Structure 1
Amino acid sequence: MKVINLSEPYDHQLIEPGPVILALGFFDGVHRGHQRVIRAAKKVAQEKNAKLAVMTFDRFPKIAYQGLDPLKIRYLTTTKRKLALFEQLGADLAYVVEFNEKLVPMLPQEFVDKYIIALHAIGAVAGFDFTYGKPEIANMKTLPDYAQGRFEVFEVPELTEDAVKVGTTQIKHLLDQGKISETNLLLGYPFETTGPIVHGQARGRKLGFPTINVETDAQQKLPALGVYAVKVQIGTAWFDGMASVSHNETFGPQQEVTVEINLFDVHQDLYGQVARVQWFEYLRPSFKFTGAQALVDQMKKDESQSRELLLAVTPCESLRK
C-alpha cells in the first residue's frame, strides 16, 4: 500500500494517476463499522477495475472545528496503526490529509473538488454520518449534489450490535469502564497498544514479579486503571502476561500512569525492544494495598486467573475476513 501525505495547499503531482474508489472517514479505531465501509469500497473497486484508496486525517477534525485541546485527545489507533489496518483491508493507496487551519473554512464544493475529484475518484464510499464541513450542508445526503455527476456516491448504513451503535465514541466509553471484551467485540479484533520497553523502578522484580514497562504514545487511548490479561508480541514471539494500568498507589501518591506487564515464564533482558500488547480480559480494579505482601498475594491470584483466561484466546496477527 502506498501512503501519500497531503497538506493544503497540496502538490497535485503527489496524486496517484488512474481511477480510484475512495473510502472516506477519520476511521479512529478502524472498528467493525469502519471495516464495513472499507470493505464495501473494496468490492466496488473490484467491480469497476479501479484501485481502492482510503482517505483519513492526521488529527481529529473536531480539534479545529470546536477548538479542542489537541494534547487532551486520545485515539483508539495511532495513524501508523490505522495505516496498517487499511493495508490489511486491501487498500492500494492511503491519503493522510493534514487537518490544518486552511481546511476549516473550506466550503463543501471546494473540498469535494480538491479531495475527491482531484484524487481521481470515480466513486466515493463513506458511512451514513460522514461530514466534510458543517454537518447541515456537508453530509452524505448532499454529496451527490456536489458530485455533479462526476462520481458515484455509496452510503454505508449504521452498524449496530445488540441495538448499540458500533462507533468510536461507544468504544471509548467501554474502555473507560475497563470493558475489554465488549471493546474487542465492537472493534472486531483485540484492542492493541504498542511501545518500546523502557526502564522502570524494578519494584516488580523485587517482589518476584518482574515487569516490562511499555512506554505508550501520549495520545494513545488506554483502558481504565486496572489489571488485565494480555498477550504480548516481542519480535516474532508471543507471550502471555498480565498488565497493570495504574498510578502505583501502593508506593506513594501522584505517580504517573504506567503500563507494566508481567510476562509469564520469561527471563530475559527485553529493554529497548518494541512490545505489541493485545488486551483480552479485565481482572480487577487498581487500588492501594496495605503493603508489599498483600500486593504479592493478589498478584499470585491475578496470574492464576490470567493463565486460565488466556488459554481460550489467540493473538490476532491480522484482521479476519
Structure 2
Amino acid sequence: MKTIVLNEPLDSEKIPLEKVVLALGFFDGVHRGHQLVIKRAAAEAKKRGCHLAIMTLDRQPAIVFQHVPAKKVHYLTTLQRKLELFEQMGIDIAYVAPLTGQLPFMGPQEFVDRYMVGLHAVAVVAGEDYTYGKHDIANMQLLPRYAKNRFSVIAVEHLRFQEHKISSTSIRKLLDSGNIAAANHLLGYIYQNSGLVVHGEQRGRQLGFPTLNLAIPVTERILAEGIYAVKVKIAGNTYQGMASIGRNETFGNNRKVTVEINLFDFNQMVYGQTVTVDWYQKLRNQVKFTGASALIKQLENDRQQTIIYFKAKNKK
C-alpha cells in the first residue's frame, strides 16, 4: 500500500494518475461499519478495473471544529494503526489529509474539486452520514450536485447490531465500561493498544507475579479499570497473560491508574521496548484487598481463569 500525505497546497505530482474508487471517512476504529464501506468500495474498484484508494484525516475533526483539546482525544486507532488495518483490507493507496491550513475552511465545492476529482476518483464511496463540511450543505445527499457527473456517488447504509448503528461512539462507550467482548464484536477484530515497557514498583515480582508496566500513549483509548485476559506481542513473539488496569488500592489510596501485565511463560527483561496488547476478555472488576496474601490468592485464580479462557477459545 502506498501512503501519501496531502499537504496544502496540493502537489499534483504526488497524486498517481490512474483512476481510483475512493473511500472516504475518518474511520476511527475501522470497525465493521467502516469495513462495509471499504468492502463496497473494493467491489466497485474490481468491477471498474481500477485501484482502490482511501482518504482519512490526520486528527479527530472535533479538535478543529469543536475546539476539543487534543490531549482529551483518545483514539480507538492511531493513524499508524489505521494505516495497518487499511493495508490488511487490500487498499492500494491511502491518502492522509492533515486537518490544518485552509482545508478546514474549504467550501464543499472546492473540497470536492480538489479532494475527489483531484484524486482522480471515478466513484466515491462513504457512509450515508459522511460530511465534508457543514452538515446541512456538505452531506452525501448533496454530493451528486457537487460531483457534476464527474464521478459516481455511493452512500453505504449504516451497519446495525441489535437495532443500533455500529459506530465509533458506541465502541468507545463499551471500552469505557470494560465490555471488551462486545467492543471486539463490533470492531470485527481484537482491540489493541501499544505501550512502552517502563520501570514500575516491582511489587508484582515481590508477590510472585512479575509484571510488564506499560506507558500507553495518551492518544490511545484504554479500557475501564479491571482485570483482563490478554495476549502481548514482543519482538515477533506472542504470549498469553492477564492485565490489570487500576490504581493498586490494596497498597494505598489516590494512586494513578497503571497498566500492568503478568505474562505466562515469560521471564525476559524488556524495559524500553514497545509491545502490543490484544484485549480479549474482562475477568473481573478491581477489588481492594485486605492484604498481600488475599491478593496473591486472587491472582492465582485470575491466572487459572485466563488459562481456561484461552483453552476454550482455541477449541472453537
TM-score, structure 1 as length reference: 0.95
1:24-63 paired onto structure 2 within 5 Å = 24-63=24-63
1:4-34 residue CA offsets vs partner (Å, 9 max, x unmatched): 1122223222212210110000000000000
- Within a 5 Å distance, the mapping from 1:229-248 to structure 2 comes to 229-248=229-248
Partner Cα separation in structure 2 for residue 119 and residue 288 of structure 1: 56
For 1:142, the aligned partner's letter is L
Establish whether residue 262 from structure 1 lines up as the match of residue 279 from structure 2: no
Give the residue type in structure 2 aligned to 1:225.
E
- Secondary structure of 2:153's counterpart equals strand
The equivalent residue for 1:111 is 111
Give the letter aligned to residue 127 of structure 2.
G
SS of the aligned residue for 1:104 comes to helix
What residue in structure 2 maps to residue 319 of structure 1?
none
Percent pairwise identity: 50
Letter in 1 for 2:96: V
Q: 1:207-237: CA deviations, max 9, x gaps?
A: 1000011221211001101110011111222
Give the whole-Å Cα distance in 1 for the aligned partners of 2:165 and 2:50: 31
* 1:74 alignment partner, SS class: coil
Task: Give the aligned length.
Answer: 314
Find the aligned partners of 1:267 and 1:70 in 2 and give their Cα distance: 37
Deviations 1:255-306 (A, max 9, x none): 3322110001212222233321111111111232222222212111111111
Which residue number in structure 1 is paired with residue 158 of structure 2? 158
Q: CA deviation at 1:165?
A: 1.2
| Aligned-partner Cα distance in 2 for 1:35–1:303 | 35
After superposing on structure 2, the runs of 4+ consecutive aligned residues of structure 1 that deviate more than 3 Å are: none
Per-residue Cα deviation, 1:299-321 (whole angstroms, up to 9, x for no partner) = 1111111111111336xxxxxxx
- Distance, in Å, in 2 between the alignment partners of 1:139 and 1:304 is 52
Q: What is the CA–CA distance in structure 2 between the aligned matches of 1:89 and 1:244, rounded to whole Å? A: 32
Partner of 1:149: 149
C-alpha deviations, 1:59-106, integer Å up to 9, x for none?
111211111111101100000000000000000010111011422221
Within 2, Cα distance between the matches of 1:231 and 1:155? 37
Structure 2 unpaired stretches of 5+ = none
Which amino acid in 1 is paired with 2:178?
G
Output one character per residue of 1:134-164: Cα deviation in whole Å (capped at 9) or x when no partner.
1111111001110000001111111011112
Letter matched to residue 291 of structure 2: G
Instruction: Confirm or deny that 1:122 pairs with 2:122.
Output: yes
- 8 Å contact kept, 1:21–1:123: yes
Is structure 2 residue 10 aligned with structure 1 residue 10? Answer: yes
Does the CA contact (< 8 Å) of 1:20 and 1:52 recur in 2? yes
Q: CA RMSD in A?
A: 1.3
Question: Residues 186-225 of structure 1 correspond to what in structure 2 (within 5 A)?
Answer: 186-225=186-225
C-alpha separation in 2, matches of 1:47 and 1:307: 46
In structure 2, the residue matched to 1:312 is 312
- Are 2:125 and 1:132 equivalent residues in the alignment? no
Contact 1:213 1:260 in 2 (8 A): yes
CA distance in 2, matches of 1:97, 1:272: 32
Code of the aligned partner of 2:132: Y
**Alpha carbons 1:64, 1:101 under 8 Å: kept:** no
For residues 194 and 269 of structure 1, what CA distance do their matches in structure 2 show? Answer: 18
Report the more deviating stretch, 290-299 or 71-80.
290-299
Aligned equivalents of 2:139, 2:225: Cα separation in 1: 37
Q: Aligned partners of 2:261, 2:17: CA distance in 1, in Å? A: 47
